Structure 1
């Protein structure tokens, strides 16, 4: 009887070991599946964020290029105004400059 109890005990231990191994394998498979799912979700979030950032970048780029034309026009207008201002100042004092130059050129110093 002792042998049959040992056999029964050994078989129970083997059955418990198989059951434990089965539980561990299921847990590993569940963990692997969850990691795969988390990776897929993260990739979707990354793709959505990347698309959002790209759209924002393109919008800013469009605004900047649109403003660039306006900035160029504004700068051209300011430049023309400054050139006109400098020419008018030069015209106003050109007679005086000519007189000063003639005076210095024609004055003889000993």
Structure 2
């Protein structure tokens, strides 16, 4: 299914039993090691698709809502695109809370790198 749909990103976790759910009483439990193996395989495939989609954004102009200082560098700001992708770029603190136009110059799995236009 992931190969067909190619999501932008996913939030995935290994299954854990929850009292009160239909699956709680079912037999045929999956070993923790197998759950982890499956999760890693799923996330590895998703990382490939996410990077492909992010690379398609390189060279594009994006309107970014500036949210704060980048986790990667105290010299950079961080904001998000309208599709919730993280963009790190050089900028002054007075841009916090503002919309800025940024050119995407590099793509990574979990973020984009931009330059203010």
- Do these two structures clear the TM 0.5 threshold for a shared fold by scoring above it? no
- Structure number with greater CO (CA < 8 Å, separation at least 6) is 2
Return the TM-score normalized by structure 1: 0.29
Is the strand fraction higher in 1 or 2? 2
TM-score norm. by structure 2 comes to 0.27
Structure label with greater radius of gyration: 1
